[in-house]
Amino acid sequence: MTASERAARWKRAVVYQIYPKSFRDGNGDGVGDIRGVIEKLPYLKDLGVGVAWLSPIFASPMIDNGYDTSDYCAVNPLFGTMADAEELFEEAKKRDIRIVLDIALNHTSTQHPWFQDALAQGEKRDWYWWREGRCGAAPNNWRSIFGGPSWSQPDGDDQFYLHLFDKSQADLNWENPEVRSAIHAAMRFWLDKGVGGFRLDVVTVISKEPDLRDVIDPRPAPLYRHIAGGPRLHEFLREMRREVFSHYDCIAIGEAPGVDPARAAKLVDPADPMLDMIYHFDLVAMNPVVAGPWDRVAFKRIFSAWDKGIGANGWNSVVISNHDLGRISSRFGDGSPESAKMLLTLVLTQRATPFIYQGDELGMTNAPFESLDDIDDVWAKTTYRLAREKGRTEQQAFAATVAMTRDHARTPFQWSAALNAGFSEAETTWLRVNPNHTTLNAAAQEHDGASVRAFAKQLIALRDDPLWVFGAFEDLAPDDPDVFVYARTYEGRRAVVALNLRGEAKPRPDCVPALTPILPNAGTEIDTLAPWEARIVLV
């Protein structure tokens, strides 16, 4: 298989993200695991996905659910054994599903032996970023992405260590070649076992200006924007390609906060490939549940900007949901099956590799969290604590926490109406199941041709046609505040997609041909788009 044939295969695939802790509990301890994923491979096959990306399965104290790694070459016992992982890779391969592992390579857990050695002033001190404080306070004004300072001073140490995320996630010093070799070795360890590639966690921040200067605006949200794309990022990624990826039939997907299309295009340029695709943050960062009304025109503009910026040269992915966000049908829709289907249509009809987050194919929704005890997310807990420290009442702090918590996406997968939604046979599960599992679940949708699941399957199958994978993209009504209308054109064929982004009927825009749709999700009137209607017509 040539490099370009391999690339075409990745471009055609639909990626399905599994959050192992919440997918299926195979051993009855209330926590999802690898045996659970093996058990559900036929479900993935039935859906038609070609790649399953697993959030981290490596050893970890699980303060950030695996994004705090304590051993890159060991399986977290919570999820199973190395033998389970190997069986998963084998079984997936038999079904033509490639397993992509998630590697948090910007930082390790502070419980990683590397950090423990650094803490003890050992040989690995320089594997992390240590700096003197300024007048007893942090060495610079960077704010952690999760809130609070991004520096902590261990008891008895005269220096602070850097952590862009939680204080339990210490940033690795990629300037040190030993760090890079150790990460490369870990990647090769898994690739030798037959995994299909990696999703590289926050990879755009691995390179930092060694002087770690203050940023102009230290508010937490834009920190990525200030520091992403550091001076040696390209060098580090080229080296990783040379040392690791170029020796395997694998894919490198970069989670890329803080870069715009022009900078991202460089990372996926086929003439000098560093990564195979980019997973940008412009859509991820949009959360109307937290930030107020949904600016639909700005939202649409993001698709055009990234398509123009990267387009056919290099490759985009389209990610509007993942384990860090509320559910799409609650974020952009009204939780109805129609809005879930419309949003799936949006994801699956772009010129980009579509990513489906587990449960989106059923239209799973945000959860009705009632108390702080229902919440596990370390970011959410920090948000609550900081809100209280700022003087917010318990009620206000809790409301802000519920709006932002990543746990909405992490409630157990809803397999059926049975105990614990068929996720686990345990008495209690690590997060409570969403009470709507009694009606919203995979089993109920299995034989229902009008279900979100059936619709998702049809959309995935649609991508067998190269028009949907490779066809040029054009926004036909960029200023329309209600409807997203775009054309996809390929070798003389043309399709038009019209998505009603509102829960009320809208007149058919003139640029949408008055033709019968191929995959209607709602409505039957040619001249009116029903609430949340997704209309695809072949011209």
Q: How far is the CB of 150 from ligand GLC (least distance, A)?
A: 12
Q: How far is the CB of 302 from ligand GLC (least distance, A)?
A: 18
| Residues 446, 450, 455, 456, CA torsion sign | negative
Q: Which among 492, 462, 488 has a CA at the least distance from the CA of 476?
A: 488
64 binds ligand GLC (CB under 6 A): yes
Residue 124 exposure: Cα atoms within 13 Å on the Cβ side? 21
Nearer to ligand GLC (CB atom), residue 252 or residue 522 = 252
Nearer to ligand GLC (CB atom), residue 70 or residue 349 = 70
Pairing of strands 251-256, 197-200: parallel
Radius of gyration of the chain (CA): 23
67 binds ligand GLC (CB under 6 A): yes
**Contact flags string 216-235 toward ligand GLC, x per CB under 6 A:** --------------------
Interface with ligand GLC in residues 348-377 (CB under 6 A): none
Longest dimension (CA), the chain: 73
Q: Which among 352, 266, 364 has a CA at the least distance from the CA of 315?
A: 352
| Closest residue to ligand GLC, based on beta-carbon distance | 67
Nearer to ligand GLC (CB atom), residue 21 or residue 351 = 21
Nearer to ligand GLC (CB atom), residue 255 or residue 276 = 255
Q: How far is the CB of 181 from ligand GLC (least distance, A)?
A: 21
Which of 171, 255, 307, 360 is the catalytic position? 255
Amino acid at 255: E
Q: How far is the CB of 201 from ligand GLC (least distance, A)?
A: 5
Under 8 Å between Cβ of 334 and 346: no
Among 38, 52, 100, 104, indicate the residue that binds ligand GLC (CB under 6 A). 104
Dist. CA 457–CA 445, nearest whole Å:
12
Q: Which among 60, 69, 82, 224 has a CA at the least distance from the CA of 142?
A: 224
Nearer to ligand GLC (CB atom), residue 146 or residue 473 = 146
Q: How far is the CB of 138 from ligand GLC (least distance, A)?
A: 19
Query: Is residue 64 flagged as an active site residue?
Result: no
**Sheet of strand 197-200, all strands in order from the earlier edge strand to the far edge:** 277-280, 251-256, 197-200, 98-103, 51-54, 15-18, 353-357, 317-318
Interface with ligand GLC in residues 155-174 (CB under 6 A): 165
Q: How far is the CB of 202 from ligand GLC (least distance, A)?
A: 5
Q: How far is the CB of 172 from ligand GLC (least distance, A)?
A: 12
334 binds ligand GLC (CB under 6 A): no
Nearer to ligand GLC (CB atom), residue 202 or residue 421 = 202
Nearer to ligand GLC (CB atom), residue 411 or residue 445 = 411
Which of 201, 361, 475, 480 is the catalytic position? 201
Which letter does DSSP use for residue 216 in this model? S
Q: How far is the CB of 323 from ligand GLC (least distance, A)?
A: 6
Q: Site size for ligand GLC, by CB under 6 A?
A: 9
Q: How far is CA 416 from CA 365, 424, 458, 463, in A?
A: 15, 11, 21, 28
Interface with ligand GLC in residues 428-467 (CB under 6 A): none
Under 8 Å between Cβ of 172 and 106: yes
Nearer to ligand GLC (CB atom), residue 109 or residue 353 = 109
**Contact flags string 373-412 toward ligand GLC, x per CB under 6 A:** ----------------------------------------
Buried b (16+ CB within 10 A) or exposed e, 476-510: bbeebebbbbbbbebeeebbbbbbbbbeeebebbe
Under 8 Å between Cβ of 325 and 365: no
**Contact flags string 11-50 toward ligand GLC, x per CB under 6 A:** ----------------------------------------
Q: How far is the CB of 516 from ligand GLC (least distance, A)?
A: 41
324 binds ligand GLC (CB under 6 A): yes
Amino acid at 438: T
Under 8 Å between Cβ of 361 and 340: no
Query: Is residue 123 flagged as an active site residue?
Result: no
Nearer to ligand GLC (CB atom), residue 201 or residue 480 = 201
Helices (H), 203-260: 223-227, 233-243
Interface with ligand GLC in residues 242-271 (CB under 6 A): 255
Dist. CA 115–CA 414, nearest whole Å:
38
Q: Which among 407, 402, 257, 400 has a CA at the least distance from the CA of 323?
A: 407
Among 84, 171, 201, 407, indicate the residue that binds ligand GLC (CB under 6 A). 201
Positions touching ligand GLC (CB under 6 A) are: 64, 67, 104, 165, 201-202, 255, 323-324
| Residues with active-site annotation | 201, 255
